[in-house]
Structure 1
Amino acid sequence: MAPHFDAPPASGEKALKDRFAHIDTWVFDLDNTLYPQTADLWPKIDARITLFMMRLFGLDAISLRALQKHYYLRYGTTLRGLMMEHDIDAEVYLKFVHDIDRSSLAHNHSLAEAIAALPGRKLILTNGSRHHAIETAKQLGIDHLFEDIFDIIAADFIAKPEEAAYERFFAHLKVDPERAALFEDLPRNLIVPHARGMTTVLVAPAVGEEVEREAWEIATGEEPHLDFVTNDLVGFLEALAR
């Protein structure tokens, strides 16, 4: 079972830091990782995806939800499914679904300080758009901390968890996976990174948080590709920097 660190005790911090001593590149997923999984951003995006499909197919939301989730599971993103099977304009789609109000997110000063204290490069790896990542990071007050953002367009619309998405990321940003750590909220998105030598950290919902998830999105903590599991990202990063 992967070590679970909510907020590591002082006695465990040295062992934790030793596991990350070789890391010089810190990679973060965006949605539901850098902001709480109970935030309303992803439900807003999800609703916009459904609305886009309603306009595309002329069907009601209930009829389209199953198709939306089918594409998401099979292709990594609903976008990829729509591109492969219906030849939609990806940039029109991304602009539409990320046209949301982010004002519910507050600046997270503790997260900003914890990320700033990490030694080395900081990057965002997202299945969303660069614009969405920038605007969301700005709202959190952490946009200035990241060297670069590798988005779905840079990946040529090949989404995590596909191996090709990570290989493009490694090559484009010159990342040595064996010296990099990846923080993600979806366990399946950590399978390839772990196989390539990245140190993997699953960011789980905080204690008491009720988060709507598909069964395949929920980790048991026993998956061999999870090096660590935490439900307190800030506390985890602070322990690494102390």
Structure 2
Amino acid sequence: MESDELYMQVQRPKYDCLLFDLDDTLYPLSSGLASAVLKNIQDYMIKKLGIEESKITDMGNLLYNNYGTTMAGLRAIGYDFDYDEYHSFVHGRLPYENLKPDPVLRSLLLSLPVRKVIFTNADKVHAIKVLSKLGLEDCFEGIICFETLNPIHKSSISDDEDDIEFLGSTQSSTASNGSPQIFDIIGHFCQPNEGSDGLPKTPVICKPSESAIERALEIAYINPLRTLFFEDSVRNIQSGKRVGLHTVLVGKSQKVKGADYAMESIHYLREAIPELWENDKIREVNYSGVGVAVETSITT
């Protein structure tokens, strides 16, 4: 009888894992990084890909809205470039100095005795730098990033078995003959009754694709039914909900379709979801010995 009572007192928590987006979720949009990223992407399109400046805004919006990220869209419509070079150009000149250590968020994260994992479309270098600037590098078990879902960086398929294991169904769409034909996405949407169904597929795997989220969960051994997903993007929230995740929209006070919770700031975590602390008697997980997150992360 005593054992039954003890079991009832220390029940299994509702969530086994907390899955966090990175940019504009763990720090506010007001930091200025998002606007700097947009400017750098536009500069890359003009200076590196030779796209006419007059087309940049319309093309960028169409690529982002239809493919999840501008990079994914650029690769889909036929532009060939090195992923690492792109990330270096887009993230290498960001105002990281605007990010400051966040001891309040650090304390909140470390007080939660469940797995905590980062899931971002950004590259590994950027993710590590942001976490370091925020003072959160040892608060997470691992990082799921661009390299996690897109381990193939060359135009040809690698013979490495680990690379082959992670290949996605659309990973082999690179043109092999001379300069590839660029798909006119602006012209496509100018045609009457044309929608996204006729668009070329992208070799890049990223949110908000449901298959990308499912792949990330598979790689990290995460059960969506016992996971809380924190995101600032409504479409990512909705995709996460469709694959079974419990969802938290960060940056908004009102819930939207697909969001189980909403909070204006990640700092309101305890007030918005107090049930996360209902099982304080469960042994606390300590990541203090992990070191830099990526060293034991899911990026390898």
TM-based fold match above 0.5 = yes
Match of 2:58 among 66, 83, 86: 66
Match of 2:83 in 1: 90
Q: Give the Å deviation of 1:57.
A: 3.8
After TM superposition, where is structure 1 displaced by more than 6 Å over at least 4 residues in a row? none
TM-score calculated relative to the size of structure 1: 0.81
Structure 2 stretches of 5 or more lacking a match?
A: 1-11, 151-203, 279-300
Match of 1:108 in 2: 102
Match of 1:229 in 2: 262
Match of 2:125 among 112, 121, 131: 131
Relative distance call for 1:98 and 1:121 in structure 2 (3 A) is same
Q: Please show how residues 43-192 of structure 1 align to structure 2 within 5 Å.
A: 43-59=35-51, 61-85=53-77, 86-99=79-92, 100-156=94-150, 157-192=204-239
Q: Do 1:202 and 1:228's aligned partners in 2 also have CA atoms closer than 8 Å?
A: yes
Q: SS state of the match for residue 142, structure 1?
A: coil
Q: Distance in 2 between matches of 1:57 and 1:65?
A: 15
Q: Do residues 203 (structure 1) and 250 (structure 2) align?
A: yes
Q: SS state of the match for residue 149, structure 2?
A: coil
Q: Do 2:210 and 2:242's aligned partners in 1 also have CA atoms closer than 8 Å?
A: no
Q: Do residues 35 (structure 1) and 27 (structure 2) align?
A: yes
Larger Rg: 2
Structure 1 stretches of 5 or more lacking a match?
A: 1-19, 207-219
Letter in 1 for 2:214: E
Letter in 2 for 1:45: V
Q: Give the Å deviation of 1:46.
A: 1.2
Q: Distance in 2 between matches of 1:72 and 1:87?
A: 17
TM-score calculated relative to the size of structure 2: 0.66
What's the CA shift string for 1:49-78, capped at 9, x where partnerless? 111001134355453122112111110000
What's the CA shift string for 1:157-186, capped at 9, x where partnerless? 311110111111111111011111100001
Q: Give the Å deviation of 1:112.
A: 0.6
Number of equivalenced pairs: 209
Q: Give the Å deviation of 1:227.
A: 0.5
Higher relative contact order (CA 8 A, sep 6+): 1
Q: Give the Å deviation of 1:190.
A: 1.4
Instruction: Among all aligned residue pairs of Structure 1 and Structure 2, give the percentage whose two residues are the same amino acid.
Output: 31
RMSD: 1.9
